[in-house]
A and B are shown apart, each in its own frame.
Chain A
Amino acid sequence: MGQPALCSIVSTDSPLPATAPWIVLKFGGTSVSTAARWATIRALAHGRRAEGARVLVVVSALSGITDLLKAASQEDDVGARLVIAEQIEARHVELAHCLELPQSAQWRTHMDALRHIVQMETAPADLIPWQASVMAHGELLSSAMGADWLHAAWLDARSVLRASDQPNQSERMQRFSALLETQPDPRAAVELAGLGEILITQGFIARDVHGGTVLLGRGGSDTSAAHFGALLRAARVEIWTDVAGMFSANPRLVPDARLLRRLDYEEAQEIATTGAKVLHARCLAPLRGPRVPLWIKDTERPQLAGTEIGAEAVEASPSIKALSMRKGITLVSMESIGMWQQVGFLADVFAQFKRHGLSVDLIGSAETNVTVSLDSSENLLDSDALATLAADLAQVCRVKVIAPCAAITLVGRGMRGMLHRLQALLAELGGQRVHLISQSSNNLNLTFVTDESAADALLGRMHDLLLQSGALRADDGSIFGPSWRALYAAPMADTGSPWWRAQRVSLLRSAEQGTPKYVYHLPTIRERASALRGMSAVDRWYYALKANSHSAVLRELARAGFGLECVSPGELAEASAVAPETPRLFTPNFAPRDDYAAAFDAGALVCVDSLFPLQKWGDLLAGREIGLRVDLGVGVGHHEKVRTGGSGSKFGLPLADLPAFLAGARRIGARITLLHAHLGSGVLDAAHWAGVYVQLASLAEHVGTLRALDVGGGLGLPQREGEWPLDLAALDAALWDVKRAYPQFELWMEPGRYLVAEAGVLLARVTQVKDKDAYHYLGIDAGMHSLLRPALYGAHHRMVNLSRIDAAADSLYQVVGPICESGDVLGTDRRMPAGEEGDVILIEHAGAYGAVMASEYNRRGLPAQEILE
């Protein structure tokens, strides 16, 4: 949406014409608490005026003031109330001082009024109205101060906004969470225009039908702004807050969530009501009728685009817009054959919910079961409402209360038309406990209710899957903006250009000697190794040589002080040959007895991960020092995939077998000196290893003989544009948090991929190019036989045409190999320059699990390997 056409060529000095449109600007508590922010407010208000609009500024109370007022309104002691009033006065005086504002009569009047009413003795019957008028003073004071600062006309919001009568609501609800009803009113607009060209008023407060002060509830200032916008049929309402707008998921949990540039009212409403906190859910309804657009903007960074909510749907093709989440959900499942074809059964059941003051949100039903969700509320958490409801329902059906749950909602117009793109997402949910699925006929949402303990991690994975599958079309720039991380996180450390750029000429020359060929750059390995060695929490490092066992690589890492972690006799032999003095760790899985015997003979520390060797090969293990690899997957809290993690993986001793293992080890005199766990790979979250570490440490105290805890590897590298690298300093700090509590154990880690992946590239040459309908295939001489990861794991490797490094990337290719398998695809949808036969294609991050996994499939031979010193 561009700037709306406003009256042009209006200078600030000449008065606005009667037809000038209104713009409503709303600023929240943090936006009105500092002099710097008030300077922004002035610039914005005057800027909008200069554009030719009348400006209505709606403000909240200074941050923290409403809480103080609430405390005062709940305080019995008049003296204590007065102390609070003085605190409030001091806060404002301090701000006025920073703004170099004299105390105006307007502001003084409100302050005196506040001092007066906090000293009033109130009869119990008047308590609630009195409390409301005490709490209204935060906005009265901030707006009075703002009027002076902006040279704006001060407007009492209560003279304009009126709450509707809600006879069904309690007095408290009517007073503290009042509902407004507003229609565009040209007469009111004319009246307000008569007050001035820049006006300031209060959020959060209004009057009731009797003229008393009412409040609009938490976040009510947004609602005030929206109602003013509707009343004035404003050109737009701008909500200025501390974040640039709505995001495709809660950015605190999903830093890769994308800014939503544009939404229609219904989608925005859906996102706001299903979890997003940035916008009060009630503030869209009044704007929808008169079609007043609403913008969300960041006061701290007004230059950021923000979110624009309006009537029109502008997307190129349907997309999921957001993934929102609410926690603290309680499900009530009601099972009875009695409900089948029974007239009025549901009416009776729902009457019970009403009677106990519990509001039903989602509903899922089958012939003999109805399950409903209840949002978290004080009534639910701190009264016996649920217990008595369950008792009443139990008279007519079997009740089961399922909690705590989280409802994760996909929001997007045309949801049912996008189901086919949710395949991967549904597969992920298949491994979770999903208790309820709900999809409403408005076709805007799809909600999954799952265990709350799994939800945080699940949200991030679901967001990733939506991005990867294209169900959330982040590439549509008209809808989606940058990620939260790109907008707000500390800027990504400049990693410089990749090493191969400087080596381009020699790489091209090397490719002429034959492709496919792996090239490893040892200085990059040295850099990675020394970065890891810089982490002081880790006492010993082992390199997992299955990632890349080239002898030059092993020699380099042994020299850098890394031990070698081996999983087979072949690897042990390689390690012994290249670096005979280096400590070795042997951590095989389902290996035959002879492998273990050979490892003991070779002097490696041998890790066992099941009871079997202890029970069957006691003679081999007797008197030995051994390591134990455990599987923390099942149930040890931190790992959300608890239901599938353990038994689905062939690695590690299940925790349930730990006591038997310890007893068995003691019986044969084997000493367990290392406790080991390794979960997953490609992890970019520093907190992950600290979680593993603390779980191992808490187990370790039961073992007794331990010297070290090995938290494995799996340190991730960014694979796609916009992914942040692992923060080693944060990782070190997180590990130290645990280490301080368990200083008696050494900490070991065993990275593989992290050390070598970036140091290696795979060079290949273009063989043929083919077009097939909309698809363009770029054939190269490397395939799944040279680099298996894309076919095996769906791994993403960036690739460039090294021969045309500076040419425009104007073609969209499917990059494929020469193997007779339809899975022989190395990259999909890659933007590259148009390729020619013989061009050299460079595939990045090929230093790990590249050559070691290569095969001679189709009898095409193994790729060559080359070292750059």
Chain B
Amino acid sequence: MNSASLPDPRRARTFRFIGCGYEAGEARLRYAFDDGPEMVECVVFPDAPRLQGSAKAAFDRAIQLLHWIAGVSYYKAGAVGRLAIENARPEPGVLALIQSVYRHGLAEFAYRNNLDLRAEWSVSAPSGMAMAVPEVGLSARTLVPIGGGKDSLVAVEALRSVGAEATATWIGDSPLIATCAARTGLPTLNIRRTLAPELFAYNRMGAWNGHVPVTAINSAILVCASLLYGYDSIAFANERSASSATLEYDGQLVNHQWSKGAGFERDFAAVVRESIAKDLRYFSLLRCWSELAVTRAFARLPQYFDVFSSCNRNFRILGSRPVDRWCGQCPKCHFVFLALAPFLPKPRLLSIFGRNLLDDEALAPGFDALLEYRGHKPFECVGEGAEARAAMAELADRPEWREDALVARFRSEILPQLDAASLGIGPWLEPQGEHGVPERLAGALRWLT
């Protein structure tokens, strides 16, 4: 794509939702800035069956929702002041959800680029007939999105513990995730997603770029998949701390993991139930648990130790050596290492990572950030600083850990400044708060305790 011929999306007035369509397993989602070139995203569902009747109608509504939500990746290139929905009219609840995806889901993007994302929305399509959303008659089985990290694998095992019928699913081309999915022994479903090439061309021109709420997009894709293949539930593995804001900017809370949070889960589940299909349940199985509790559960699953990775530097490329899966430098590597440490024999943990991150002085700044010592929480999907401090305090008490460079540093420098009473690991292992897990699968939660 020759970027010289493209207009700068940042100078555009309007971001347009032009239309979407689906045929023979392929959804095409169309967008544009003003009268610029159309950007078409393709989502491919393998071996898609033909749908009819209420299932077909529900699926069409789901594709429409996906169109509106997936636009966020394209909108951000221009971050313009006006968005125009031209092909259909969202119901008020749906429109509110979409608007919040574009506002809260892009909050970190706005913060990093110093942008004001307050925008005007216009809907030019005629309003359709408001219809009661029926039950579609979905089968009692569950789609479990696999990310290659520990959380989704814990969800898989929790579902397995109650004999639930489940399919491991993932979006995109990742050998690492494919390997993890295969290791679960479940049936698998790999959905392909191709971004419009114009987006990359805009990026090369210097368009706005940054974090998008990818879980919101994936959720919408999986709603389509559930209706297409017949699943009555989608079980994400987002835990409690995903709901906490990373910082406040311009009067708004900025949460790097906003679309993994409880608020999004609740709103999205409601939209699915009320506007897409009454019998489709969307929820997070791990919502009531902390990172530490999930990590403890994962420590009981040695079958995944040599395939999983939460590292977000190397995660797309598969390698057999630990250093191929764990860069050892990013906040994810640091957190997962620290969170697993209290629950695994030290030599076993080190064999997973191939090195001892807590005995490397050069990593002190990264662990400081994790502990929220000097500065704010890093923008990554990691647990609350308090959890990291509790894990570190636990290690500080353990003779096999306490002489390691960063643990020794924690003991001498950071620990004296902390309130000892707040450092126990025990309270973090208890479930807390509401969850949306349907009755049929509620038994799976027992496996986590």
Contact = CB atoms under 8 A, between A and B. Distances in A.
Interface of A: 328, 330, 376, 380-387, 389-391, 393-394, 398-404, 451-453, 456, 634-638, 655, 671, 673, 694-695, 698-699, 704-707, 737-738, 740-742, 744
B314 interface: yes
Interface of B: 173-175, 195, 200, 203-206, 209-210, 302, 312-314, 316-317, 321-324, 326-329, 345-348, 350-351, 354-356, 359, 362, 398-401, 403-404
Contact of A386 (B173, B323, B400): B400
Greatest chain A CB density within 10 A among B174, B326, B346 is at B346
Given A328-B347, A638-B324, A704-B203, 16 more contacts: A382-B302, A386-B347, A387-B399, A391-B398, A394-B399, A402-B356, A403-B347, A404-B347, A404-B351, A404-B355, A635-B328, A635-B362, A637-B314, A698-B327, A705-B206, A744-B195
A399 B347 CA distance: 15
Contact of A698 (B204, B206, B314): B314
Given A740-B173, A741-B173, A637 B403 contact: no
B204 A673 contact: yes
Contacts of B195: 744
Contact of B348 (A382, A638, A695): A382
Given A636-B329, A637-B327, A638-B323, A403 B350 contact: yes
A778 B329 CA distance: 53
B355 A401 contact: no
A451 B355 CA distance: 8
Contact of B401 (A376, A401, A655, A744): A401
B209 A386 contact: no
Contacts of B317: 694, 737-738, 741
Greatest chain B CB density within 10 A among A403, A451, A737 is at A403
A603 B357 CA distance: 45
Contact of B346 (A401, A634, A705): A401
A390 B209 contact: no
Given A451-B355, A705-B209, A637 B323 contact: yes
A401 B210 CA distance: 41
Contacts of B324: 637-638
A268 B312 CA distance: 45
A806 to B, nearest CB: 49
B313 A698 contact: yes
A707 B204 contact: yes
Contacts, number: 122
Interface of B, helix, strand, loop or mixed by DSSP: loop
Nearest to B312: A698
B345 A704 contact: no
Contacts of B346: 330, 386-387, 401, 403
A390 B329 contact: no
Nearest to B321: A456
B347 A704 contact: no
A200 B99 CA distance: 80
A390 B313 contact: no
B206 A671 contact: yes
B356 A404 contact: yes
Contacts of A634: 362
30 contacts: A328-B347, A376-B347, A376-B351, A382-B348, A386-B345, A386-B346, A386-B400, A387-B400, A390-B399, A390-B400, A394-B399, A399-B399, A401-B401, A404-B347, A404-B354, A452-B355, A636-B329, A637-B323, A637-B327, A655-B329, A671-B206, A694-B314, A694-B316, A698-B313, A698-B314, A698-B327, A704-B206, A737-B317, A741-B174, A741-B316
B277 to A, nearest CB: 33
B200 A744 contact: yes
Contacts of A452: 354-355
Given A381-B347, A635-B329, A635-B362, A403 B356 contact: yes
Nearest to A687: B319
Nearest to B405: A400
Contacts of A400: 403-404
Contacts of B348: 381-382
Contacts of B313: 636-637, 695, 698-699
B234 to A, nearest CB: 25
Contacts of B326: 637
Contact of A705 (B174, B204, B354, B401): B204
A295 B173 CA distance: 49
Contacts of A401: 346, 400-401, 403-404
A453 B316 contact: no
A636 B173 contact: no
Given A387-B398, A391-B399, A451-B355, A404 B314 contact: no
A453 B400 contact: no
Nearest to A634: B362
B208 to A, nearest CB: 8
